[in-house]
Structure 1
C-alpha cells in the first residue's frame, strides 16, 4: 500500500524558491524555454550536430530553460527519437557546458523507471548544476514501448502515483521507512547525493492518467500541450482555481509546450500546425502576449519542423521576441 501524502506547506515553499523554478517561472509573466534537440530535422532521428554549442547559445540568448525528453525506444509511427541520448547522461553534459539556464525533463516516463534511480539521477543533476534541475514526470504516450518493460498500459497511472510518492519520500524524508508496491525502503536508508536546494520540484506533463485535483495537490507545476488561446485560457483558469493566482502562497506554474515553425517573412499570417504554431515573428509576438495574458508561465518551444536551421530561428527569436519575455538571473 502506498504511503503517498500531500506535500506540507513548508516543502511547497522550498520548491518555489528553487533556483531552477525562479528562473523558469518568475511569476506574473511568461518566459520562453526550448525543447531538445535544438535542431530542425526531417524523419524521426536528429543529427545532434553542434548540439552543446547550441545549448550554450540558448543560455547566452536568455532562454529560461532547456528541456530534454525520455524516449527509451524508437517506435515507428509514435514520434521522433528525442535528443537520442539518455536524458540523464545528456543532462550531465548540459550541466557541464551551461551555468545559469534551468534544466528539466519534459518528461521522464516514470512508470518505465524505478523511482529510486530517477530520484538519484535528478539529485545528481541538481547538485552538479548548482540547483537548476526540474523533474517533469509523465505516464508516457507511446503504447507500443510499454510491453518492452513487462507492463500493461493499464498499469501506468497507478505506477506513476506510486513512483511519485516514492521520489517525494526520498527527497523529503531521508532515513524514514517507506512502504510501496514498488519496494520497501528500510529505516535509516537515505538518498545520496542530496539535492542542492532541498526538494527538487516535480512537474506533471499532460494528465498522467490522474484527475487534475490530484495533480494540483501533488505537483509543483503543470506542463501541457499547445492549445488555442481560448482553450488554453479555460485550462489555465481550472488550474488557477485549484492552485492560486501568481503571487499567492498556493500558486503553481502552468507551462505550454508546442512546435514552432517561424516563417522567414516577419508578417506571415498564422497557419495551422498540430500541437503548435506556424507564422512570422510579428503575429507570433501578438499570440505569445495573448498567452501571457491568459496565465501561461512558460512557452516551451520545439523547433523540429522548421525548414531553416534551428540556430537561425533561435537567433531571430532572441532578437525580436525574447526581449518581451525576459528570464531573471539564477537568483541562486
Structure 2
C-alpha cells in the first residue's frame, strides 16, 4: 500500500515542513487541492448535499502546480499530486504546461488529479458554462494527453480548436498519470475510460464499497486512491487492498501543529520504509 498526505487540510505555513517530513519518512505522495477564485456572492456556494456555503471568499488560494514545483525543490522522492485540479477552467495549453513543468523539475514525480468541480461561482467568474464542465474536461484530457506525447498537435473540437503546435518539453514520465476525482456517474465513467485511475472523497471501508462496485461495473481497472482520514489499526490496510485500493491518503493528526509528530508515529506503526539519506 502507498500512503499519501493531504497538505490542503493544514495551514499553508506548514506545507513545506510536512512535505519534507513525508519525503523523509517514506510516505509515497503529498497532495494539494485547488480553486481558481472565490466569488463574494455566496448564492452559488452551497456544497452539494447541504445548504451551507462550501467556501469562504477570503481563503488564500495558491496555484497548486506552481506550489508543488517549489515543494519539488525541497524534497527528493515523494510524489506531488493534485486532489483535485480543475483542468477545464483553463485552456488546455495552460494546465498541460504547468504539469509538464512540474514533472520536469521534480524528475518525474507529478500526479495530475483532476475533477469537474462543484462550485459554480468560479465558472461564472471566468465566463465558462457550468453545465458543460464535464464535457469540457473530457476534451481537455484528450488534448492534454496529445500535447504530452505527440511531436505536433492540431485540434478541432467542441470547445477548443487550434492549428498545429509544438509542445516541449514533454513530461519526464512516459505517461504522466491523470486520476479523476468525483463520485457522480459521469466522474466514475471518466475515471474508468479516460484516466489512469480514480480519487475518492473521504470514506471508510464500508462507505467506499458501493463506489468501487460502480467503478468496476463501468470497467475501471486503474489505480484507486482513497481518502481514508479515519483509518484504524494497521490490520485494516489489508481490507482496503482487497477492495482494489492501492493508495490511502491519510490524516493521522487531529491538530495541525502535531502533524509532523503524528506522521512519524504513523510511519513507525504502519511499517513505512524510510529512504536512505544521501
TM-score bracket for this pair, using the shorter chain length: 0.7 to 0.9
- The structural deviation recorded for 1:117 is 0.5
C-alpha RMSD of matched pairs (Å): 2.8
Residue of structure 2 in register with 1:151 after alignment = 128
- The structural deviation recorded for 1:70 is 1.2
Residue of structure 2 in register with 1:230 after alignment = 206
Q: 1:76-111 deviations in whole A, cap 9, x for unaligned?
A: 731478884211220110111111111111111122
Q: 1:159-197 deviations in whole A, cap 9, x for unaligned?
A: 11121111112112231321123332323x121221112
Q: 1:109 to 1:300 in 2, by over 3 A?
A: same
Is residue 70–residue 82 contact of structure 1 (8 Å, CA) maintained in 2? Answer: no
Structure 2 distance, partners of 1:135, 1:241, is 24
- The structural deviation recorded for 1:219 is 0.6
Is residue 182–residue 188 contact of structure 2 (8 Å, CA) maintained in 1? Answer: no
Q: Aligned pair 1:192/2:168, yes or no?
A: yes
Q: Aligned pair 1:105/2:61, yes or no?
A: no
Q: 1:48-81 deviations in whole A, cap 9, x for unaligned?
A: 2343232111111000101111122346731478
Count of paired positions: 263
**Mapping for residues 258-273 of structure 1, pairs under 5 Å:** 258=228, 260=229
- The structural deviation recorded for 1:295 is 1.9
> When the two structures are superposed, what TM-score results if normalisation uses the length of structure 1?
0.70
2:103 is paired with a residue whose SS is helix
Structure 2 distance, partners of 1:209, 1:113, is 23
2:3 is paired with a residue whose SS is strand
Q: Which runs of 5+ in 2 are unaligned?
A: 43-52
Q: 1:289 to 1:220 in 2, by over 3 A?
A: same
Structure 2 distance, partners of 1:254, 1:180, is 30
Range 201-210 or range 312-321, more displaced: 201-210
Is residue 32–residue 299 contact of structure 1 (8 Å, CA) maintained in 2? Answer: yes
**Mapping for residues 131-170 of structure 1, pairs under 5 Å:** 131-170=108-147
Q: Which runs of 5+ in 1 are unaligned?
A: 1-29, 40-45, 245-250, 261-276
Q: Which has the higher contact order (CA 8 A, sep 6+)?
A: 1
